[in-house]
Amino acid sequence: MPVLECSRCNELYYSAHGATDLSCDACGGGVWRVFPDEVSFARVAGLQRDVQPGDHAVLVYTDVERAADFCSAFLRDGLAIGERLIIALPDPLRPMVIDRFAPEELSDAVVLDSREVYGPDFDPEATIQEFESLVRSDEPARFVCAMDPETAATIDVATFQHYERIAHQLVLELNATALCVYDGQRLPIGFSPVAVHTHPLISRDGSELRRNPDFAYEPTGSVS
């Protein structure tokens, strides 16, 4: 009996036939991670996760080299399946990630300094609309995004938490694959709880991506 995991709220279900054309009882979501050979919720909860469209993951790091390795591997996996890359990272992480690719590999990627996206006057809805505008309707997208510490210092933590909530919904609506990246040393101390509470999948310092037991889904409605 396969196990299904809701990509919106992380709720686990058994599916007698592995069918995914159903809605989550907890949140109404219809995007699923499927574990066809598993029968135990406890075992599934501890397994490594491979990202798929609709996933909104987070990397919380203190070691920038390990973070760059993790981000570049995440992006390279997207290239391998034809996803268009959208990269919005601050210094020093952005050039470290870019340097791990040959120029031709990123010829179709959108590469931005995160200060261009989030600052100087951060508005959650406007930022979401900007990211949405970068996605081509006929092409799957893969995002890697992080806020720079200088901009973060000017933003109320509750405002950024609201942004992550609506970003989670946007990822599902676009059927995109997204990795948010949090610098655990340079960002304001209140940002780490936001990272933990608003992302269904988590990696700590470049470790394997796992189901996030501290994720707390909150409905936001459509962002379109």
> What confidence score (pLDDT) does residue 130 get?
94
Rounded to an integer, the average pLDDT of 19-32 is 89
pLDDT tens sequence across 90-104: 999 999 999 999 999
Q: How confident is the model at residue 50 (pLDDT cuts 50, 70, 90)?
A: very high
pLDDT tens sequence across 140-177: 999 999 999 999 999 999 999 999 999 999 999 999 99
> What confidence score (pLDDT) does residue 204 get?
97
- Domain at 56-211: CATH code: 3.40.50.300
> What confidence score (pLDDT) does residue 223 get?
60
Q: Does the structure show a pLDDT above 90 at 17? A: no
Q: Which residue spans of the chain are classified as CATH 3.40.50.300? A: 56-211
> What confidence score (pLDDT) does residue 18 get?
61
Rounded to an integer, the average pLDDT of 62-73 is 98
Q: Does the structure show a pLDDT above 80 at 224? A: no
> What confidence score (pLDDT) does residue 222 get?
59
Cα 97 from Cα 184, distance rounded (Å): 18
Rounded to an integer, the average pLDDT of 42-50 is 95
Cα 190 from Cα 61, distance rounded (Å): 15
Rounded to an integer, the average pLDDT of 121-135 is 95
Indicate the pTM of the whole model.
0.95
Rounded to an integer, the average pLDDT of 65-74 is 98
Identify the residue whose tokens are 């340079």.
186
Helix axes 124-133, 157-174, angle to 10 degrees: 30
Residue 44, token pair as written in the block:
């599934």
Q: Is 133 exposed, middle or buried (0-12, 13-18, 19+ CB in 10 A)?
A: exposed
Q: Does the structure show a pLDDT above 90 at 3? A: yes
Q: Does the structure show a pLDDT above 80 at 20? A: no
Rounded to an integer, the average pLDDT of 117-126 is 92
